[in-house]
Chain A
Amino acid sequence: MREEFAPTLPVDTHPPVARLNRFLSMAGITGAVLLLWLASGIGVPASLGRATDELQGLATIFLGIFIEALPFLLAGVLASAAIHVFVSAEHIRRLSPRSPVRAALLGTLLGLCFPVCECGAVPATRRLMSKGASPALGIAFLLAAPVVNPIVIASTWVAFSGRPEIVAARVGLTVVIAAIAALVVGRRATADALLMQSHHDHHDHHDHRHEGLGARVQALLSHAVAEFFEMGRYLVLGALIAAALQTVVPREALLAVGQGPVFAPIVMMALAFVLSICSTVDAFVALAFVNSFPTGALLAFLVFGPMVDIKSLLMYTATFQRPVVMRIVAVVAVLTLASAVAIDLVLG
């Protein structure tokens, strides 16, 4: 997946890597062509009809996730491009608190005025951090914004209309876990040490603030497009993996594995990870499990999914250094599991 960086690298320095990359891209293209051919059913022999049938099911699930998430990804890249074009780095640096604790707390609440879900939070976070927001603020925003925002709070409220404590616990746990994760990962680090070099950030250093409005809108749109292709790729791959896993491993098999105070939340977290549903709608999905799972496990689903799932994990790895991603995921997973187990033990 690295070949887009190839033009900036001297091609000859790593011939084995280049060869491996070329091999992987060829394998990927071959796989994609095969998938398209079989799923389209055009000229597929009857003996492969079953494969066509199953791949069409996979395509339907994939398109469900992709189409549902697309509007939110677009909102995210437009928000990110708007920050880039209209907000100066000094502005953000001035507003970003010095104290990591305060920065982390501010980050968890920033979603209230930037309503983005996980697909949008990643590009917006990267933009905030590369513009000088402190890492604690950036990571807290990244993890909390998909839940602590008006749209998601409203949809959770609608889904669990009879149980306001679920809404409160979801928001509360998200704020606490996001703040702790942000402090653990981002306390001392600088943004540069955490972020991957973005492909198009190399060219980002010129300031758009002194251009005319038309030029700035034009710049906004072309930055949004560049980021759309950069992030859209991970949405597509994540949705494909999630759809393939769902086709191969039925959800009921997963549910059959886990009951009990520790297993139930683990299963619900695994489910949230695999399903990769947008946080704006996952509360409705959680409803389907109200009677089969205890409250703590439901909350684990509602808190963990928006922070870590297949598609956001792919986006994280494109944005942050690998060890940073692993630390974020580990802290979030441990804290979510611990709080879910504690809740279910207390509620009995």
Chain B
Amino acid sequence: MKHPGTITFVEKGKPDEVMSADKVPDSVAFYEDVPVVRVVSELVEKKRIIRSYGADGALLSTTREG
């Protein structure tokens, strides 16, 4: 599936950052071949939780830091 082009990285307390999808690894830009267009990250109890969303706003995957 073709990526629409950009991914917006959202982090609490920081300005959103828009990156070109071809500047990030495929493992970040896609989840199971579905394009990721928004990544929301938050520090919770000193560990990072990263959530990747698709174009329809659906949560595609969550990554938890060890």
Q: Do A and B come from one complex?
A: no
Binding site for B on A (CB under 8 A): none
